[in-house]
Copies of this chain bind each other. A is one copy, B any other.
Amino acid sequence: MRDVYILGVGTTPCGRFPEKGAHILGREAAWAAIQDAEINPRDIEIVFCGHVYQGMGVGQRTLKEIGLVGQPVINVEGACGSGTLAFWESWRSIAYGQFDIALALGVENLSKVLSGGPLPLDEEDIEVALGMGMPALYAMRAQRYMQEYGVTSEQLAKVVVKSRKHAAMNPIAQYRKEITIEEVLDSPMIADPLTRNQCCPVGDASAAAVLCSGDLVKKLAKKQPVKVLGCVAQSGKYASAEKLTCDPSENVTRTSRLAYEMAGLGPEDMDLAEIHDAFSIAEMIVCEALGFCEKGAGFRLIDEERTSLGGDIVVNPSGGLLSRGHPVGATGLLQTAEIVWHLRGEAGDRQVEGANVGIIETMGGAQPAMDGITCVVSILGT
């Protein structure tokens, strides 16, 4: 297996851009990544485009906008994990020797798709049809978690306070205003105990990364290249919601163990993490699944500010899904760009000092029972 490096990353801001088609958002991020990598775009041999709701041929329509036509473009979908799935596809295309330079693109314009209604989930899933949408599912898990471990609403709200504090320093974040515990709890109740401020926003964005083989990196890299130390994609085991427990997500646990193994590293080696905090409770459970703490101790990481900037394992310095935003197919590559910026020392006021190794976790499709459609975990290092 060959070494793979990230030469450049690029993103749009996160926000509501109903007037911008996916291909317009996509071209901004793709071009930004190409410029960041300082490569000739015609050297890109293959493109993977992750999205969920943007229709046929999005990758091709996007690449056409920047004059890149002819090479293979593959649109991939793995629910909210679509962006990191595009990254995984790009990585493996190089790691196993088929291609030397790949572009991973993630894009979503949710504003165009949603008109005030809920996220279109699996219409044939009986649990979804009965109301088990994303907020309801996460709320059930939060209720059980709070009861089992004696966690309070205030502790749950602290996840959002930390998230907004980080996002206030992130120029591309959708919510950049700091918030108090009271403000989090006083926002309208969506699914008890989750108030609106504990749910990630609807938003639009695109993000991209240029990857190349270890053979080419010395020749091509103009900036500090970032190495892909591990990259694993897995699907969920579709446990029924009746089996909903407080255990860390089986899928995140399994996928991250495989990624740690590939990297030859463990959770204790991670300096920072970008994880899938679609709702406040998710951050606690995912931190446990990634091995940052014991089962049931995720809330302590927040309480003790270990996951805040300055802590020993900084989680979501970007503001995460809760504050930077969650434009479905773009999310995984927004997370990837954030880790790259930190490893290069380019993250501005929110820079994690001495960041050498970072981990990215994206979970796509939480229903049923949070084991999801797709989980992708990548580990990046300098």
Contact = CB atoms under 8 A, between A and B. Distances in A.
A21 interface: yes
A55 B77 CA distance: 9
27 contacts: A21-B124, A52-B56, A55-B123, A56-B120, A56-B121, A57-B77, A57-B364, A57-B365, A57-B374, A60-B238, A60-B365, A64-B238, A69-B235, A69-B238, A70-B237, A70-B254, A71-B234, A73-B78, A73-B374, A74-B76, A74-B89, A75-B76, A75-B77, A76-B76, A76-B77, A96-B96, A96-B98
A159 interface: no
Interface in A242-261: 254
Contacts of A70: 234-237, 254
Nearest to A46: B233
How many copies of this chain does the complex contain? 2
Interface residues of A, number: 46
A265 to B, nearest CB: 21
Given A56-B79, A57-B79, A57-B373, A73 B235 contact: yes
B74 A233 contact: yes
A124 B374 contact: no
Interface in A47-64: 52, 55-57, 60-61, 63-64
A23 B72 contact: no
Contacts of A85: 74
Given A74-B233, A75-B78, 17 more contacts: A23-B124, A55-B123, A56-B373, A57-B365, A57-B373, A60-B365, A60-B374, A63-B235, A64-B238, A70-B236, A70-B254, A71-B234, A72-B235, A73-B374, A92-B93, A95-B98, A97-B97
